[in-house]
Amino acid sequence: MSTLTTKKAYKLEGELTLPGDKSISHRAIIFSALSSGKCEIHNLCSGEDAARTLEIFRQMGIKTEAGGLHNLTVTGRGLHGLQEPSTVLYTGNSGTTTRLMTGLLSPQRFFTVLSGDASLNHRPMKRVVGPLRQMGACIHGRREGDYAPLAITGSHLKGIDYTLPVASAQIKSCLILAGLYADGVTRITEPALSRDHTERMLEHLGVPITRESTTAALAAAAEIRPERYDIPGDISSAAFFMVAALLVPGSEILIKGIGVNPTRTGVIDILQAMGGTIELQNIRTVCGEPVADIFVRSSRLKGITINGPIIPRAIDEIPVVAIAAACAEGTTIINDAKELRVKESDRIATTACELQKCGVTVQEQPDGMIITGTEHLAGASCKSHGDHRIAMALAVAGLVAQSPISIEDCDCINTSFPEFMTKLTELAG
């Protein structure tokens, strides 16, 4: 397991592009496989999580052809063309693969088993298994279906009207995928809007789905048309460079072609509210998703309070926002973020624990944390806790710490962003 070390950087400069958005990549693979023909996917996320989703479809008879590093042709077999796999479908560390596939596999006419790595198999699945059972799904798993491995016997589903207990794109998308096959209408309401890539992609594909406020509703689909998908750069990956450029004095960078879907731009709003100079340029729409170039200049940051509906819009970026907060003047309070406790690690506990090693005062709260900014982040020996976003956030901290920060167990970065260190090194010159 590899250890990564980063040290003080003198400035970050230049332009960069990033691999495709992980969430959109999963969905492009799914809808290509369910389409009735040949689809092209450009700028697919190169991480292991998207590769798990792709491999699962290959196990169900889908043919794919690589067309260069990040490009792929997928030949769909239609909504009813998937074949029963003869082995367990392995989802690795990917919560998105597991939850979305549980929704898609529940109405298939065959039997499947989904299983992931040790971390994944301890993440809550009742949140999808519960409503899917209400739709008529037959799913068995450890702890009454809360933990994978999950065994799914395909069955006939009926639409339900379901209100999510938490804002979650994984639960919502799982139920939308099940709803594509269900009798009647499937209606899903969230307490706040989570990322809406599934809904946008269906709209872009011309599949009927209605949306009003935080409710989405659909009936069974007849067909999904083949499409070319151009995946924007991942804003969750861009966030590490945004924070790095804000913190390292004298930096100016332009991150080109990044997805700026409003359900994902919480991190930009937060960093701007902290005093960061971040500008969106050349805003355009690609495949139903807003895309922009993001200009960032180093800035003095101040602590703020972060809570409410902005949390689901920035949920994956909180670890790197915590690094920004650790270097800001004053106190940053993060609340309403209990969901962080059930991510790839308990991100409230792991962020607090690792920042404390760097000499930062962090008070853990049940649903967030209170971070007191310091001018002198200390070097330290840290751990990733097997969580890619904790590893990359700490690597950013090392760029401004007084002595190097080393992070143990960094192979996990490959789950979302294998090019992370190469890109960072390019910018640091």
Binding site for ligand S3P (CB under 6 A): 23, 26, 96, 168-170, 173, 194-195, 315-316, 339
Query: Smallest distance from the beta carbon of 311 to ligand S3P, in angstroms?
Result: 10
Nearer to ligand S3P, 46 or 96 (CB): 96
Phi-psi region of 313 (alpha: psi -120 to 50; beta: other; left: phi over 0): alpha
Q: How far is the CB of 303 from ligand S3P (least distance, A)?
A: 24
Smallest gap from Cβ 169 to ligand S3P, in A, equals 3
**Nearest of 244, 95, 108 to residue 170 by alpha carbon:** 95
CA–CA separation, 210 vs 320, rounded Å? 34
Amino acid occupying residue 167:
A
User: Cα–Cα–Cα angle for 399, 401, 404, nearest 5°?
Assistant: 80
Query: Measured between alpha carbons, how far is 243 from 225 in angstroms, rounded to an integer?
Result: 39
Residue 293 or 316 having the CB closest to ligand S3P: 316
Rounded Cα–Cα distance for residues 319 and 200 (Å): 27
Residue 22 or residue 77: which is nearer to ligand S3P going by CB? 22
Q: Which residue is nearest to ligand S3P (CB)?
A: 23
Whole-number Cα distances in Å, 54 to 31, 66, 99:
11, 12, 15
Cα atoms found within 13 Å of the Cα of residue 314, Cβ hemisphere only? 25
Find the shortest distance in angstroms from Cβ 375 to ligand S3P: 32
Residue 31 or 295 having the CB closest to ligand S3P: 31
C-beta of 203 vs 252, nearer to ligand S3P: 203
- Other beta carbons less than 10 A from residue 60's beta carbon: 21
Residue found by looking up tokens 């990917």 in the block: 94
Eight-state DSSP code of residue 146: T
**What's at 31, amino acid-wise?**
F
Q: 127 and 111 in contact (C-beta within 8 Å)?
A: no
CB of residue 196 to ligand S3P, shortest distance in Å: 10
Catalytic residues: 316
